[in-house]
Structure 1
């Protein structure tokens, strides 16, 4: 019987080279260093209306990442550079920095402790210089670079692409290369929705992050579906942050709207709900009911492959959907406000996995780690 592993697929780092860049900037995104009680005090500013958040070694020090993992019993992490990645840079600078940061992340992972003779404790998602004016050749070179770095198993991608969104046909060569490479694409938000939607009342970061980020992912993924990206590139492996945002909840409404809209009604090969079964979802949802629902939506997707009238009274095998769900922590963001040995957010996500009705031990172990080991070809 194989050993059950706990694998964190949603965990971030600002590599030292990247943090140094943020410290050198005078506009967002930036790190501002001041003095507090005679010691340097770094604060990170990345969003509009941002009041900044304190940052320290846990954001860039590998030993701090490993200490966090040890404290929470995490065997392995697939680390990704945190937003806003390279989105704010001109093309030439983004290309150079992507190459350097991918090499940095490879070293960060390669020098980590071993979990077994064939496994390291750290693997990573590389970066593409996805900015306006970048050449297709430069993007394909970055994908080739990442494919050759043995500890990088995918890429992390924001929602703006080359500035027109991820549904732009300009990205088709990128999707084709990513599909051929087998690299996993981790789709992660940064921009949220229009800040005016949150009103004038100070609610901290709750509305932009709890709602704005998942809504951004929902819209970006829907645009990919509507653009036929998953029809043209059926083997593309896309992992959605924050359990896919609101897409699982709204997928039937989406399918109905498509069917009744002459602009898109005949555009796709399948009912919109079918495509959710082609995606992967992190399990950063904090509640068993939410995880169970996402699992149900994934499981039912196979009903919609053939099209036509679909019976809705057939029981859904919730265990089937669990195979495309993976544990994550979102470290180092959102630490506890009060000193505590373990982070409540991490404990809640683990408890949620354990409490999903209809998942047996095999499914729970899958979400905790076995699914990630399979997805990233680490078994």
Structure 2
């Protein structure tokens, strides 16, 4: 097996500033003529502070093609679909307009229903392309690996290869495998491997499948409600099933501000007292449920300064990182969002903009 350094070096040389042929990536030969305006840098205490976005997406056509008849449903029904297929100069220009220096890219899992061979090949293509992209522009891109979580033993192998060979900084996983929670012991080998490798698992939901019929109708509720709810359930299962006690060094990042967990966390501390018959007496948590929030990381995609203020008050600024969902335009001014939250100290802002992400993901600033 090639070493990580050799792989990244060879990839960068082979690319030579040309194109990623057939994988949905195009490196423009010339500078864009209509670049958006660059946001001025953030200066705090006389020092320029970088911004790292841990929640940004891309797609690769070669892996989508392996989905067969399901391929047409892979690109999300949103604005920004074509931008998932990265034109490097255009993506960087858009990042700079937001004030973002680096994106940690991920492919939102769409392959959990596929057979082992197909899922393995989809993830292989994604991880190779993500590594090559990171190697070409390491000043602007890092990436989370794709894993075939429906086959945990394979996912363990993929995670180790992604980190040791490809230099990826962790893995992006769903909120569950089609409703099967990652607190299920069959997935514990993947969690154990992430802890062993000291890398993060970025939880990005795919709605809450059990509620699909109730989400029908106006408002795109499968996303607006379903996505944050799915992340909330995923994180609560990790807490209440004792996963964070079993893997105390496990690093988990919850998309979309961790869903609803940060908004109503204290209710979790009362459930088993109010209704002990609805709790498992064999699970003896070492801490109050809300205390585990200090072991979880959250992105900042909560839209308003008041929402960010509350999240910081609940979990601490040490647990929050910028997240945008780019290129889907949920949050187009992520740096301004942080800077406009008046209750944050300068150190809070530095933490959220880049310090936390650099520490957790092993990125040198």
Alignment deviations for residues 65-107 of structure 1 (CA, whole Å, 9 cap, x no partner): 22211222211111111342x2131112112322232111100
State whether structure 2 residue 324 is matched by structure 1 residue 329: yes
Q: CA RMSD in A?
A: 2.3
Aligned to 1:78: 104
Aligned to 2:295: 278
Structure 2 unaligned residues grouped into runs of 5+? 1-45
**Matches of 2:265 and 2:84 in 1, distance apart?**
37
**Matches of 1:63 and 1:350 in 2, distance apart?**
20
Aligned to 1:306: none
State whether structure 2 residue 101 is matched by structure 1 residue 95: no
**SS of the residue 2:298 aligns to:** strand
**Matches of 1:329 and 1:26 in 2, distance apart?**
30
Aligned to 1:366: 351
Give the structure-1-normalised TM-score. Answer: 0.77
- 1:268 Cα deviation from its structure 2 partner: 1.3
> Does structure 1 conserve the Cα–Cα contact (< 8 Å) formed by 2:207 and 2:223?
no
**Matches of 1:52 and 1:288 in 2, distance apart?**
25
In terms of fraction of residues, the more strand-rich structure is 1
**Residues 162, 287 of structure 1: alpha-carbon distance in 2 compared, 3 angstrom cutoff:** closer
- 1:250 Cα deviation from its structure 2 partner: 2.3
235-244 or 352-361: bigger deviation: 352-361
Give the structure-2-normalised TM-score. Answer: 0.79
**Matches of 1:52 and 1:122 in 2, distance apart?**
23
> Does structure 1 conserve the Cα–Cα contact (< 8 Å) formed by 2:98 and 2:335?
no
**Matches of 1:144 and 1:163 in 2, distance apart?**
25
**Matches of 2:258 and 2:317 in 1, distance apart?**
14
> Does structure 1 conserve the Cα–Cα contact (< 8 Å) formed by 2:80 and 2:329?
no
- 1:192 Cα deviation from its structure 2 partner: 2.9
**Matches of 1:176 and 1:169 in 2, distance apart?**
11
**SS of the residue 1:65 aligns to:** helix
Match of 2:272 among 230, 236, 258: 258
**SS of the residue 2:326 aligns to:** coil
Aligned to 2:194: 178
**SS of the residue 1:103 aligns to:** helix
Aligned to 1:34: none
- 1:45 Cα deviation from its structure 2 partner: 5.5
**Residues 199, 156 of structure 1: alpha-carbon distance in 2 compared, 3 angstrom cutoff:** closer
Alignment deviations for residues 320-366 of structure 1 (CA, whole Å, 9 cap, x no partner): x111111121111137xxxxxxxxx322x333312324311221122
Aligned to 1:14: 59
Aligned to 1:316: none
